[in-house]
A and B are shown apart, each in its own frame.
Chain A
Amino acid sequence: MGNTPRKYALVGLVLAMAAGAAGTAVAEEKKDWGAYKVGDKRSGYTYAAPETRAMQDDNFQNPAMLWAEAGEELWNKVDGEAGKSCASCHKTPDSMKGVAVSYPKYVAAKKGLENLEQRINRCRTENMKAKEWKYESKELLGMTVFVRHQSLGMPVNVKVDGEYAPFFEKGKAFYNQRRGQLDMACKHCHEDFAGTQIRANLLSQGQGNGFPLYRLKWSGVGSLHRRFRGCNKQVRSTPYGYGSDEYLALELYVMWRGQGLPIETPAVRN
């Protein structure tokens, strides 16, 4: 009987802690996130730590700008048998303004989707007669970051109707499909439990508007497909390949989930 008061004290403490945690969560909910929150869609920015947000906000501090600079150099670099650079056709990088918001796009010749990485590579092989850049290479990431960065702040606006509809449905099915030894779907973390802790990490809505982004864990820039692969591995399922049809469909669905959120490329996350 002697330990009863102690028990009450313990319960009290736990409640106080719960209230404290709820208090900060509410404060974060109520904070005005400006463009980073559209309706109930919240960019990963709003889940990032203040220090990480500061890194993203300052172009100098943002290490991903090194990749953007690499992309800028490549923009003017002549490559391939046709003797062209990006600038030969597209002139200034401003011409890329607004391009990023609508990817992945449907390509009739391929009868499928194509993301910006693949579009850049198609331009290289078809128009420049140059070799493709490898997925996740510094060149391709750099150019993708650089092109997407031109659309900074413009709202994501992907198409999901017409010829996009079957791919959208496929992506949606992927998103809700349980997979791996842990038997988890994307939605279990990013829809049902966004905003709660998974061990030490705060789960975000899994938005794609900031990609390719600098991830502190990676000490580098990575594409959305790299993130998909990481997520798939974490639930112990076999990841699909970079640029695979499965991930392209998923990319479309994920971008649609973040429809209206601003392009943040290159964002910085934990």
Chain B
Amino acid sequence: MSNIKPRVRIPKSAKKGEVVEIKTLIEHKMETGQRKDKQGNKIPRKIVNRFECKFNGKLVLASDWHPAVSANPYLAFHFRAEDSGEFEFRWVEDGGAEFTKKAKLTVS
């Protein structure tokens, strides 16, 4: 799974106290562990099981994901901008692999 690319869209700048929308998407098959291959063997589960978003090191949102979450999961949420800083987004896959992305927000 080398070509997994997370994508994030946030506004570059915001006014102090403004509520901004943050959109995230990660390309992932989200193999549920319930399918079988042509030989009848179970395909092992491999999903993104956790998503975290930190702002300046402080946890903003964390979410545990389960096999019912669709492939290529999209997540959008709102954030009140008070200070400038950097977001750090982290997706954790079964088996411990991590995908991260950073994005800066300037508050005026």
Contact = CB atoms under 8 A, between A and B. Distances in A.
Q: Do A and B bind each other?
A: yes
Interface of A: 60-61, 63, 66, 69-70, 216, 219-220
Contacts of A216: 70
Contacts of A69: 5
Interface of B: 3, 5, 7, 9, 23, 25, 27, 29-30, 70-72, 74, 76
Contact of B25 (A61, A70, A219, A220): A61
Contacts of B71: 63, 219-220
B70 A60 contact: no
Interface-centre pick from A63, A70, A216 (highest chain B CB count, 10 A): A63
A60 B25 contact: yes
A63 B72 contact: yes
A63 B5 contact: no
A216 B25 CA distance: 15
Nearest to A219: B71
A61 B23 contact: yes
A232 B27 CA distance: 30
B9 A219 contact: no
Interface-centre pick from A66, A69, A216 (highest chain B CB count, 10 A): A66
A67 B28 CA distance: 12
A220 B76 CA distance: 20
B72 A66 contact: yes
B72 A60 contact: no
A220 to B, nearest CB: 7
Given A61-B25, A66-B27, A219 B70 contact: yes
A60 B27 contact: no
Contacts of B25: 60-61, 63, 66
B23 A60 contact: yes
Contacts of B74: 61, 63
The 6 tightest CB contacts between A and B, nearest first, are A219-B71, A63-B72, A66-B27, A60-B9, A60-B23, A61-B74
Given A60-B7, A63-B74, A69-B5, 13 more contacts: A60-B9, A60-B23, A60-B25, A61-B23, A61-B74, A63-B27, A63-B72, A66-B7, A66-B72, A70-B3, A219-B30, A219-B71, A220-B71
A74 to B, nearest CB: 12
Nearest to B74: A61
